[in-house]
A and B are shown apart, each in its own frame.
Chain A
Amino acid sequence: MATIYLRSTDGSDSDDGSTWALAKATLAAALTAAGAGGTVYMSQSHAESTAGSLTLTSPGTAADPVSILCVNDAAAPPTALATTGAVSTTGSMTLTFAGYAYYYGVVFTGSDGANNPTWQLGSVNSALWHRFDSCKIVFGGSGTTNAEFRITGGGTSAAANGTRVEWNNTTFQAANTAHRIRVQNAIFDWTNTPSAIAGATIPTNLFGLTAMAGGRIRLHGVDLSAIGSGKNIVDVQSGSFDFLMQNCKLGSSVTIAPGTHPGQAGNRVRVVNCDSADTNYRDYEKVYQGEIFTETTIVRSGGASDGTTPRSFKMISSANAKFVSPLFLEYIPFWNDTTGSPVTVTVPVLTDNVTLTDAEAWVEVEYLGTSGFPLSLLVSDRAADILATPANQTTDGSSTWTTTGLGTPVKQSLSVAFTPQEKGIVRARVLLAKGSTTMYVDPLILASSGRQYMLGESRYVNEGVSGGGGGNTYSRGRLINAGA
């Protein structure tokens, strides 16, 4: 473990890097000298350039990663961080990162001119963890052959830890609309980044997901507003990824996830509270069985709302939804105090000229039905089994919906009763098994237990109790003040 100084302007790789005067000239040499757990201080004036491919192998380990910090070189040891250190390559090249490392304040530029920039982090044979903090990832060359920021995992070694890349306050700049981020059997987290897409060239597909690969992608607090009309966030046509964007800024008219899912194990794309406008309710989900949107026109009177904007969920099943593999809404949880007596959960739904049977749409509830243990039971109003004769779901004669644009509104309710044995969270979800069908769902679950509901993550609902006194205050899905 060593502290190594790095400055290309006057450094030399033949020096030991122990002071600014004896600084190394290249990052590769500095990494080697630092050793596992070491620190590289990169001068704010550092600007190295390599013709052709460059490999930056960190000797760090999971327990002792190497830290590469861009700093103000006015002091030794440095007392202030900087964000202007630069590492560039020219020509058609592959910029390869390996090992365990933390980078702060470095501008990485891959390739130049019309050349092909390929970035490679991790491989199927070795683990990698890299965190980029306040860095810039710049595609310098406009070539399109294998031109992507590629994160590869899927270790074949029994000791492999997989691959994880984190970007925090780190921007991405393309030089061609075909440039993208590709994740293969790895984890990618992108957080806290204003104006995340730099430069004038906007990628057509920001994320490309690879066939025969899976992984997890998370974006929180990322400003993707530069990606707008005619552009796409993630291509879902291959891979098996869990993709989540939450609290991000989108561009106007952007398409989140075009493409056709390959199957039930294909990508799950979820968007929670992301929008190009001043809203707090826009959610979206896409899976093989269909898509789910936030809907603000076709809503139920007195139904779910954040206090200002009434809302429903619009479930659009694809042709692939079926009894054994339906489209499902995420679980809607609520607190239940009742034990030993029946509780009924009812979900109002609406279609346009489609009368749904209990083999086509139903509500499923997970409740604490085992006395003395937090062991849940599952109950639903679905048809008994796949061979059972379906029956129409109950007609809803009491709800009033805004039905603008619907020719023949059909109001029904999905309802199931159960007897909890323990107090605690009850979770309900709606499933749509009829293919190529649009169903509007009011997520204001009506429960006879007296407690109302809250939705997970960032979804708002109107609180209120159907019986008893007091009031409950809900904030972003959490119960923070239970009334009497």
Chain B
Amino acid sequence: MPIALSEILEDRAQRDGRRHIQERHVDHLDVAYFVTYLAEAGANASAALTPRATQILDRLSDGELDFYEAAIATDTLVGTVTLSYSTLADLRARLRSRFRNSTGIEAANIAEFLLTLTDNQLQNLFNLANQTQVNQLKNRLAAKVAKRDAILAEAGE
């Protein structure tokens, strides 16, 4: 999913010789990104385009993963996970890492997501040795979800 187009839209000198640079990068979904900065007088603005494109992709991926990680952890996800700049494997790894230190409702929310994964995915994510361990993990995950649901079902009187 590389950036499809990177170009310099403006390279305008300032009084002291430095230059206002405006870059334009377009991704595979035809979304444009503009980056502006003040370059030194002799800086090679064209050389900065390729590493910038990489940064943009990394940032888009991070942002996408941040969003879904937070949504799943807070049980506010609407619809399904749709990733344009990262992969489901990336998201699973993020959530596995967060799950390690999670507590309370967040732990149960992430557990609920983890239960949607295949046994093979769970085995790899948690570095388990066999199906028995996977089943034990799934039981623990289900128990967390059940406790959460029981609390959420409580009502006042």
Q: Which A residues form the contact surface with B (CB < 8 A)?
A: 53, 94, 116, 118, 145-146, 204-205, 208, 210-212, 229-230, 232, 235, 237-238, 252-256, 258-260, 277, 279, 282, 291, 293, 295-297, 309-310, 314, 316, 318, 404-405
Contacts and interface: CB of A to CB of B under 8 A. Distances in A.
B107 to A, nearest CB: 14
Contacts of A238: 63, 66-67
A258 B20 contact: no
Interface stretch (B54-62, B126-134, B142-150): B54-62
A309 B37 contact: no
A78 to B, nearest CB: 36
A252 B40 contact: yes
18 contacts: A116-B97, A118-B101, A145-B93, A146-B97, A204-B58, A211-B63, A229-B39, A229-B48, A230-B51, A232-B55, A252-B43, A253-B40, A253-B48, A260-B34, A295-B20, A296-B16, A297-B12, A316-B36
B62 A208 contact: yes
Nearest to B68: A211
Contacts of A291: 36
A146 to B, nearest CB: 6
Contact of B12 (A208, A259, A310, A405): A405
Contacts of A405: 12
Nearest to A254: B37
A141 to B, nearest CB: 14
A145 B100 CA distance: 12
Contact of B35 (A258, A295, A316): A258
Contacts of B15: 296-297, 309-310
A255 B59 CA distance: 14
Given A116-B97, A253-B38, A293-B36, 11 more contacts: A146-B98, A204-B55, A212-B70, A229-B48, A230-B51, A253-B39, A253-B43, A254-B37, A279-B16, A297-B12, A316-B22
Interface in B1-42: 12-16, 18, 20, 22, 31, 33-40
Contacts of B93: 145
B52 interface: yes
A146 B82 CA distance: 22
Contacts of B62: 208
Contacts of A260: 31, 33-34
B37 A253 contact: yes
B52 to A, nearest CB: 7
Nearest to B36: A291
Contacts of B43: 229, 252-253
A57 B97 CA distance: 23
A258 B55 CA distance: 10
Most buried by A among B52, B59, B70: B59
A116 B98 CA distance: 12
Contacts of B36: 255, 291, 293, 316
Contacts of B35: 255, 258
Most buried by A among B13, B36, B39, B58: B36
Contacts of A205: 55, 59
B14 A237 contact: no
Contacts of B97: 116, 145-146
B22 to A, nearest CB: 8
Nearest to A211: B67
Contacts of B60: 237
B59 A259 contact: yes
Contacts of B33: 258-260
A69 to B, nearest CB: 30
Nearest to B35: A258
Interface string B67-105: 100110000100000000000000001000110010000
A230 B52 contact: yes
A163 B33 CA distance: 33
B59 A211 contact: no
Contact of A211 (B14, B16, B70): B70
Given A253-B43, A255-B37, A259-B33, A295 B14 contact: yes
A263 to B, nearest CB: 14
B56 A258 contact: yes
Contacts of B71: 212
Given A146-B98, A260-B33, A291-B36, A210 B59 contact: no
A258 B48 CA distance: 13
A205 B61 CA distance: 14
Nearest to B56: A258
B55 A210 contact: no
Most buried by A among B31, B51, B55: B55
A50 B2 CA distance: 42
A210 B70 contact: yes
Contacts of A282: 38
Most buried by B among A205, A253, A277, A309: A253
A189 to B, nearest CB: 23
Contacts of A296: 14-16
B153 to A, nearest CB: 20
Most buried by B among A260, A309, A318, A405: A260
